[in-house]
Amino acid sequence: MKGKITAPPGSLRKLYEELSLEERICEYCGRPIRRNIDLYQGRLYHHGCLLSAKERRYRCLGCGAWLSWLELGEAEVLGRRVRSCPICGGRVKEVKRR
């Protein structure tokens, strides 16, 4: 399911009833969400995937901005998903933590 999903606060449990398993796909890992559903900026995630996405850090090679995985822009080029900086559109590189 593409687009934003809205749910009133405290009603994430109702998403299991309203959406079929095929519609409950995690934006981070791409697998169906059977339990531990989380909603962030209108997109569905496993709770653990959302925490991992917040921790992954990227640096824009164009403008030098520091971004999390959730802040990156996304485009499809020649059938391949490419992540880019939402500020300048430049390439990004993942910064490994020590």
The pLDDT tens digits of the residues spanning 18-77 come to 889 999 999 999 999 998 999 888 889 999 999 999 999 999 999 999 999 999 988 777
The top-scoring range by mean pLDDT among 4-18, 57-71, 79-93 is 57-71
Q: For residues 82 and 22, give the distance between their C-alpha atoms in angstroms, rounded to a whole number.
A: 24
Residue among 39, 45, 1 nearest 20 (CA): 1
For every residue of 7-73, which 3-state class applies, written as one string?
CCCCCCCHHHHHCCCCCCECCCCCCECCCCEEEECCEEEEHHHHHHHHHCEEEECCCCCEEEHHHCE
Q: Which residue has the tokens 């900026």?
A: 41
